[in-house]
Amino acid sequence: MVKQYSLEEGVLLKVEDLVVKFYTYAGVVHAVSGVSFYVKEGETIALVGETGCGKTVTTRAITRLIESPGRIESGVALFRRRDGSIVDLLRVDEDVLRKIRGDEIAYVFQDPTSALDPLYTIGFHIYETMKAHRPAITKKVAFKKAIELLRQVLIPSPETRVKNYPHEMSGGMRQRSVIAISLSNLPRLLIADEPTTNLDVTIQAQILDLLKRLQVENKIGMILITHNLGIVAENADRVYIMYAGKIVEEGVTEQIFYNPQHPYTKLLLRAVPDPTKRVEKLEAIPGTIPSLIDPPPGCKFHPRCPFATEKCTREEPPFFNVEPQHRAACWLLERR
């Protein structure tokens, strides 16, 4: 008997209590610890946090792209497919998952160089991606589509560039090529891991405008992973702040920026330079992310938190509701 799943109206992806661990010689790395979030159709959510907090591992786990010694320990990832059926991505058959990857769920990986095969042209990469999910498509039609995609992502002379190998393109062009590949099958969900890292500011804005337009036209949901809070403020509908493998605050973008509640969120926002003010020295968050092999007890942020109490060092805080859709995991909110 096939298990039936259900999702709220308009929800594209719902992840609950995701746990991912890496079993290394040094010990067990608690990379993701009970992460939960959801994405609606046509909505952009942002995962924000310092390097090493578990953002990329979280999104890779959704389609089981965690390699040994990593292991998805538990959790649920419900996804609404094109035909309206709902599957748990963490338990669905590998054959079904293979049809979903690259077609209904696409990735823009952080490093475009490692995402591209140096032996094949950019045009062949796009053709191969389309052919894998649409066997009837011809090479002529696919390459015509490839040229149009390269034009959309603002690559000059796309008719020529479609025949180029990755090493013949700049880092920015490779980044845009990876975005073109990910959009080739018009996915329902796009996971963009630092999609504008190698692009200059002008191209960044144009690419993000393109992604926003395609989202509206095709109701594409997007998970945006970035350190750039300016991009988050401009493009995300809701924000999840991650720290040491856990979500510590979540809310609508305006709530996070204008009414941050978790000390980590507040310190992240203070570290962003204000162009309207003259600042002699930028603020920095003291210390570093703790070892995920031997994380501190209680609140994981307490060794770096200027407001930590004795209770913070002993007990891990639950989520406290601040306002509708806005909550944070901090003992300071318990008094309210």
For the chain, the distance separating the N- and C-terminal CA atoms, rounded to the nearest angstrom, is 48
* Cβ proximity of 130 and 184 under 8 Å: yes
pLDDT at residue number 219: 86
| pLDDT tens string 188-223 | 999 999 887 767 888 788 888 888 888 888 889 999
Over its length of 336 residues, how does the chain's per-residue pLDDT go in tens digits?
A: 457 788 999 999 999 999 999 999 999 999 999 999 999 999 999 999 988 899 999 999 999 999 999 999 999 999 999 999 999 999 999 999 999 999 999 998 878 888 899 999 999 999 999 999 999 999 999 999 999 999 988 899 999 999 999 999 988 888 889 989 999 999 999 999 988 776 788 878 888 888 888 888 888 999 999 888 888 999 999 999 999 999 999 999 999 999 999 999 999 998 877 767 776 677 788 888 899 999 999 999 999 999 999 999 999 999 999 999 999 999 999 876
* Cβ proximity of 184 and 132 under 8 Å: no
What count of other Cβ atoms lies within 10 Å of the Cβ of residue 243? 25
User: Which H or E run includes 202?
Assistant: helix 201-218
Place of tokens 């049809």: 99
* Cβ proximity of 48 and 242 under 8 Å: yes
* Cβ proximity of 145 and 164 under 8 Å: no
| pLDDT tens string 226-277 | 888 888 999 999 999 999 999 999 999 999 999 999 999 999 998 877 767 7
Annotated domain spans of the chain: 11-104+187-275+282-335
Q: What is the DSSP string of 95-157?
A: HHHHHHBTTTEEEE-S-HHHHS-TTS-HHHHHHHHHHHH-TT--HHHHHHHHHHHHHHTT-SS
pTM, rounded to two decimals? 0.92
| 201-218 vs 171-183: helix crossing angle, rounded to 10 | 0
121 vs 162: CA distance, rounded Å: 7
CATH topology of domain 11-104+187-275+282-335: Rossmann fold (3.40.50)
pLDDT at residue number 211: 83
Nearest-10 Cα torsion for 216, 258, 54, 116: 40
